[in-house]
Amino acid sequence: MDKVFIFDTTLRDGEQSPGASMSLEQKYELAVQLGRLGVDVIEAGFPVSSPHQFESCRYISERLKGPTVAALARAVEKDLESAAEAVKKAEKPRIHTFIATSPLHMKHKLNKDPDTVVEMAVKAVTYARNKVPEVEFSPEDATRSELPFLCRILEKVINAGATILNIPDTVGYAVPEEFGRFIKAIKEGVPNIDKAIISVHCHNDLGLAVANTLAGVQNGARQVEVTLNGIGERAGNASLEEFVMALYVRRDLVPLATNINTNQLWNSCKLLSSIIGFPIPRNKPIVGENAFAHESGIHQDGVLKKRETYEIMTPESVGREVSKIVLGRHSGLHGFKTRLGELGFSLAENELKAAYEHFLQIADRKKEVFDDDLFVIVSEQMDSGQEAYLLDYFSIQSGNKAVPTAAVRLKTDDRLVEEAATGDGPVDAIFKAVDRVTGLKTELKEFAVQAVTPEKTAMGEVSVAVEIDGRTYSGHGASTDILEASAKAYINALNRYRRVSQIKTKA
């Protein structure tokens, strides 16, 4: 079968989801997991956009082996120079440069005429090709571009050295049949197209990103740009796991292969969810809690008789085979480390010991420790060591006829600071007490609770979105005590605000 290259842009386009920012350490951990998953290309970031983006690209490029590492750049020299510097030590570096080609964008955003845009694109690709061995070019807003002009600019950039041509449906405007015809027309209309790979990058504004991506490969595209859990700008991108499993299940109609190790899909999506604090919707295809659940009596009867009656893939095929009881309070460090390795985690010695101590605390509170618990434990460890605020202690007084009151003690700047506050409920009181310690003016935008694992002793995971200085920051925390999880989530969001503020100050 022909091969489709998987270009993962979770760390770049995915991180542009409001509230989905990641620390350098978290990005690297996710990049390592993407390598285990088998993606061909990792778009590590947009280096010129901030010192953090540059450093993350550089850090991943220097350490990650296997996948190509790409950096995004506009068709201007400062962007290209920054991208080249960020990926220069990668085992397989790539610069991905772009410029808008639709009449709407050229007139109102770029204020450039078509000839100037072609000239800028050719110059950018030439410059990039002199810096790295592989250059990808994207005509932004391609699906609203005029086809003759699009074919003209693509022919020119191929001659300049681009070997991957990415056709983005930037605003999720296309529908599958239309998008398929569009890709076919490009393949037929660019004279030197045999010298390049056609790629597609579809957004999900109309809920059609995966369908459009499939239409693209059916009509000649051989690279797809996707993200874990479909995260990204606005409504997101085509979902990596959905696209890959569509090929896996419907190979009779779309006989194309990928290098993806599908039994790492669930681990990868769960890791991302734990890092950014975005819960996976229960009805999410492939990796959602209900994806392999059956409540209807008719469905249950059918599945018990023969699984294929209502399941078109197995949970095991996407890595959903979970041991009932993985670890407990009597498990040693070796067993703990071994299970983390099976789940795809590799921690430094000090991180492993800290995570194990956290695990023992959880194991003391509940009889069963599940894989989902381990994801939470590791994600919290990945956040540690760089916090401006650490929860040291909290206490709640509440009742149906008592005013909810919270006392919290945070460690900040090597000091312990304690404050108390009342609120409309115990969670509100905790948040207000934390605000007194930090002195920040915040507005809670979202608050969500979900059980990480089953049973009465389940860990609860809390996700929050907090607005500070006009920008929203997400946070997450987990504990068998939902109030403690709430406090951790809120403080996690404030720590993300502090990290972003520090980056801006350095810039």
Tell me: pLDDT of 355 over 90.
no
pLDDT band at 368 (very low <50, low <70, confident <90, very high): low
Per residue in 118-135, pLDDT (tens digit) is 999 999 999 999 999 999
Burial (CB < 10 A; 0-12, 13-18, 19+), residue 56, is: buried
Contact 206, 238 (CB under 8 A): no
Question: What is the predicted pLDDT for the residue at 385?
Answer: 53
Q: What is the mean pLDDT of residues 213-219?
A: 98
Tell me: pLDDT of 507 over 50.
no
Q: What is the mean pLDDT of residues 342-347?
A: 75
CATH superfamily assigned to domain 390-506: Alpha-isopropylmalate synthase LeuA, regulatory domain (3.30.160.270)
- Name the nearest CA neighbour of 234 among 278, 175, 279, 171: 171
pLDDT band at 300 (very low <50, low <70, confident <90, very high): low
Alpha-carbon distance 85 to 80, whole Å? 9
Alpha-carbon distance 191 to 156, whole Å? 10
Q: Is 7 helix (H, G, I), strand (E, B) or coil?
A: strand
Question: What is the predicted pLDDT for the residue at 325?
Answer: 38
Higher pLDDT among residues 279 and 326, named by residue: 279
Tell me: pLDDT of 344 over 60.
yes
Angle at 315 between CA 313 and CA 316, to 5 degrees: 105
Contact 33, 274 (CB under 8 A): no
Question: What is the predicted pLDDT for the residue at 323?
Answer: 42
% of the chain surpassing 90 pLDDT: 64
Q: The whole model's pTM is what?
A: 0.78
Q: Can you spell out the DSSP letters for 126-191?
A: HHHHTTSS-EEEEEETGGGS-HHHHHHHHHHHHHHT--EEEEEETTS---HHHHHHHHHHHHHH-T
pLDDT band at 322 (very low <50, low <70, confident <90, very high): very low
Tell me: pLDDT of 180 over 50.
yes
Q: Can you spell out the DSSP letters for 180-241?
A: HHHHHHHHHH-TTGGGSEEEEEEB-TTS-HHHHHHHHHHTT--EEEEBGGG--STT-B-BHH
Q: What is the mean pLDDT of residues 75-85?
A: 98
Question: What is the predicted pLDDT for the residue at 500?
Answer: 66
Tell me: pLDDT of 279 over 90.
no
Q: Lowest-confidence range among 250-254, 329-333, 408-412, 500-504?
A: 500-504
CA distances from residue 283 to 17, 29, 160, 211, 287 in whole angstroms, order as listed? 20, 27, 46, 18, 9
Q: Lowest-confidence range among 119-123, 197-201, 261-265, 325-329?
A: 325-329
Q: Lowest-confidence range among 135-144, 357-366, 440-449?
A: 357-366
Q: Which one of 3.60.20.40, 3.20.20.70, 3.30.70.260, 3.40.50.280 gives the CATH number of domain 2-276?
A: 3.20.20.70
Per residue in 147-173, pLDDT (tens digit) is 999 999 999 999 999 999 999 999 999
Tell me: pLDDT of 380 over 80.
no
